[in-house]
Amino acid sequence: MPVKSSESEDVLTQNVSPGNVRLKRKNRARPAIVAILGAIGVLAVWQAIIVGLKVPEYLVPAPTAVWGSLTTDFALLMQNAWPTLVESVVGFLLGNGIAVGLAIIFVHNKTLEQIFYPMAVVVRTIPIVAIAPILVLLLGSGLAPKVAIAALISFFPTLVNMVRGLESVDKQALELMHVLSASKTEVFFKLRLISSLPYLFAALKISTGACVVGAIVAEWIGSDSGLGVLVVNATYQFRTPLLYATMVVASVMALVFFALIVLLERLIVRWETESETV
């Protein structure tokens, strides 16, 4: 028995050695390096094709032309990015907050889940471009319809994942809580909520991009500012580099949202991060 103990200690020591730590860090950095090199390669090929085939700028601009628009029209892009940012953030918080609240209600009341869950599925099947005009008519042309559409497009993934996460509790752990006479509140906070966090953050990562798309789509109808309006204006004016630059800004916005959610997940769901490093 002592021999086995020493062997296990040696294995643990090897796993946490400086060499292994450096190797793990290198392996983590490798995907990012590959992605950056891949993006540079795509941009280089794109530039070569546009220059070699002499493609007109109003059809497809070269990456250098898009970069030129990003620098020249930076003030215009930032001016229109701010309304989209506000709409996306408020819609993200509202849609996911309502989804989490409904998921909690559904898990504790199956009758309500059977009534309202199919309705949520039906609403999700309606294209967002069809819902947008209806919300604009109901809520006006101000901030409200943009927030509502961003919230609606973020709502369904979180609802589905949160319901599944709250119901994915280990049966033996649930029985143990009942044996210990734990209340529903204790079961929820100490068992169900903890089990649902990985599912919740997976849905939030999807919602980060969806809420930006929802805000931009909403701005196409009844708005005078925002990245969606800039997309429409650039298209009608054949300012294709500005159109691509607007898409770049929207993508960066969504990527920042995604990175913040990943960081928050690493801070909260610590057991998942620790299991990956072992």
Q: DSSP class of residue 220?
A: T
Tens-digit pLDDT profile for residues 225-239: 889 999 999 989 889
What is the pLDDT averaged over residues 169-183?
A: 76
What is the pLDDT averaged over residues 132-149?
A: 83
Between helices 63-72 and 18-53, what is the axis angle to 10°? Answer: 100
Does the pTM exceed 0.85? no
Tens-digit pLDDT profile for residues 183-196: 777 778 878 888 88
Q: Is 31 in a helix, a strand, or coil?
A: helix
- Tell me what pLDDT residue 277 has: 47
Q: Is 277 in a helix, a strand, or coil?
A: helix
What is the pLDDT averaged over residues 163-180?
A: 80
Long-range pairs, 260-268, Cβ under 8 A, ≥24: 261/201, 261/204, 261/205, 261/208, 262/205, 264/201, 265/201, 268/197, 268/201
Tens-digit pLDDT profile for residues 92-128: 999 999 999 999 998 888 888 888 888 888 877 888 7
Q: What is the spatial distance between Cα 147 and Cα 156, in angstroms, rounded to a whole number?
A: 15
Q: How far is CA 33 from the centre of its chain?
A: 22
Q: Which residues contact 256 (CB under 8 A, 6 or more apart)?
A: none
Helices (H), the chain: 2-15, 18-53, 63-72, 74-108, 110-125, 128-139, 143-167, 171-179, 184-187, 193-219, 227-236, 240-268, 270-277
Q: What is the spatial distance between Cα 158 and Cα 109, in angstroms, rounded to a whole number?
A: 18
Long-range pairs, 27-35, Cβ under 8 A, ≥24: none
**Token pair listed for 159:** 């609802």
